[in-house]
Amino acid sequence: MSHLPAEHPAVKPPRVGVLLVNLGTPDATDYWSMRRYLSEFLSDRRVIELSPLLWQPILQGIILSLRPQKSGKAYDSIWNRELDESPLRTITRNQSDALAAHAAAHWPNVQVEWAMRYGNPSIAVGMDALAGGGCDRILVVPLYPQYSAATTATVNDKVFEWLQKQRWQPAVRTLPQYHDHPAYVNAIAQSIRDHVAGLDWTPDLLMTSFHGVPKEYLDKGDPYHCFCAKSGRLIREALDWPADQYQQTFQSRFGPKEWLQPYTDVSIEAAAKRGVKNMLIAAPGFSADCLETLEELAIEGAEIFKHHGGENFAFVPCLNDSALGTAMINQLVGEELAGWV
């Protein structure tokens, strides 16, 4: 029997929420869809730390007049035609569905949603769905193994921005970086082993490529570079891969400033020129395949390597919604939900 007055609004049973968050995706590959997405992404002060008074005229007047066409063409080369969406959206949804199925079997009072930091579905939409479902405790899971202010922190910023507008705030936890977590290291190492087992050639060089950030971010105290270095070392050690056949690099630099080095594209070219014939490349900093892995590494990387004398080139897919990736997310989330479920 309810003890609430007859006129009292309905009260839902308390639940625990989990929000998986990935970087973002345009809604389509046309000019205006790409422009909206790039404008949101490149207007983030965590991503571009220039004063808006200096940056916005350049962004809105020059960059967004030209870059949407180029980026749209690149996205078009990897677009999921069946669902008419980017692979990142497809994979993140699948990761969320897999976690929800695990939750239903092991944590029946847990609700799982997913969101994008840039684009749709937004973080606010995801948080609204959890709050609307009666979640008074929410775990936010930025799907970035290595913390950076330009990735993990900006996700958390958006969550806290949503919290500022709530009359009744849920308790919130955020998943910390998991760059050295055994579940992550072992999953990446096993995915590389599995891929090598399917090749009919032996790699002369294993390259792990992480997304770059401007070097000045490191100089200002961002720990991202250190976390990437540790991840790469632990993965190589888990594989027992020879140190002289391994290289760690950084990709996707943008603009004239110096970024973290060595650069991936330059390193691929240099490896081919010095006689490496068989290259395997992996992207341990990405939780799901996206433009930066499917187009920049798998397609452009192969072209650079073979154009400069390389012969065999293979890209190891991200963990995505594989059994390895799903088990890792289940474990990380389960550990962070301790005391709540």
Per the annotation, where are the binding residues?
Answer: 211, 292
Are 286 and 318 contacting, i.e. CB atoms less than 8 angstroms apart? yes
Residue 83 per-residue DSSP state: T
Identify which of 194, 218, 196, 219 has the alpha carbon closest to the alpha carbon of residue 206.
196
Cα–Cα distances (Å) from 241 to 155, 196, 245, 288, in that order, read: 34, 12, 7, 24
- Please report, in range form, the residues annotated as the binding site for Fe(2+): 211, 292
Question: CB atoms < 10 A from the CB of 104, how many?
Answer: 12
**Sequential DSSP letters for 159-181:** HHHHHHT-SSPPEEEEPPP-TT-
| Beta partners for residue 316, in sequence order | 282
| Beta partners for residue 157, in sequence order | none
Task: Find tokens 């847990």 and name the residue.
Answer: 110
Q: What amino acid is encoded at 213 in this protein?
A: V
Length of the chain: 341
Alpha-helical (H) ranges within the chain are 31-42, 52-58, 64-76, 87-106, 123-132, 154-164, 182-197, 215-219, 224-239, 264-273, 302-307, 323-336
Identify which of 176, 180, 178 has the alpha carbon closest to the alpha carbon of residue 235.
180
Phi, psi of 82, deg, nearest 5? -60, -45
